[in-house]
Amino acid sequence: MAESKSGPAPHPGVIRALRVHSGAPAMPMFRVASLHDVIYLRDLWMHRYDICRATGRPFMIGAHDPAVVAQVLRDLDGLWSGPPVVLELTGGAGGTWKVGSGEPVATVRVDAVAYMRMPAGRDGSPALEVVSGDPAVRATLAAVRVLF
């Protein structure tokens, strides 16, 4: 079977380097590479969770889920303007992260999957347990948004 040779191969590196606006107010410009490598993955991850909730099926944590959570927390740290906070995310996709720089004013514990819905703008009321420190950080955590 012959291969089509209709022209030069596309330059994915050039396309991946393009910067585009997210369309969301107050969100930074991002590269097309981010759209393909990060945003689409997060979007599919969130829809997978939504489908499980809608159908009453369990959300099964896989080996890739902690990486999605870590990506979101990395971006959250970059956007964070509140006081430093330690987030103890529980469950199979969880871990411990510090957002903000300096000495943390609080440690907050919450289920990792439930928390991911909050910065995505899907659920502003997961059970944020302030383990220690200033309970006012709940409001800051509820208000922050990360692009999904």
- The pLDDT tens digits for 101-130 are 999 999 999 999 999 999 998 886 788 999
Write down the pLDDT at residue 4: 44
The percent of residues above 70 in pLDDT, for the chain, comes to 91
Q: Tell me the per-residue pLDDT of 12-43, one tens digit each, with 9 for 90 and over.
A: 788 888 888 877 777 778 888 888 888 888 99
Q: Please identify which residue in the block is written with the tokens 């999957």.
A: 113
| Amino acid letter, 52 | C
Name all domains of the chain by residue range, CATH numbers in brackets.
12-143 (3.30.1050)
Give the residues across from 19 on adjacent strands.
Answer: 31
Beta strands in the chain (DSSP E): 19-20, 30-31, 85-90, 95-99, 106-111, 129-133
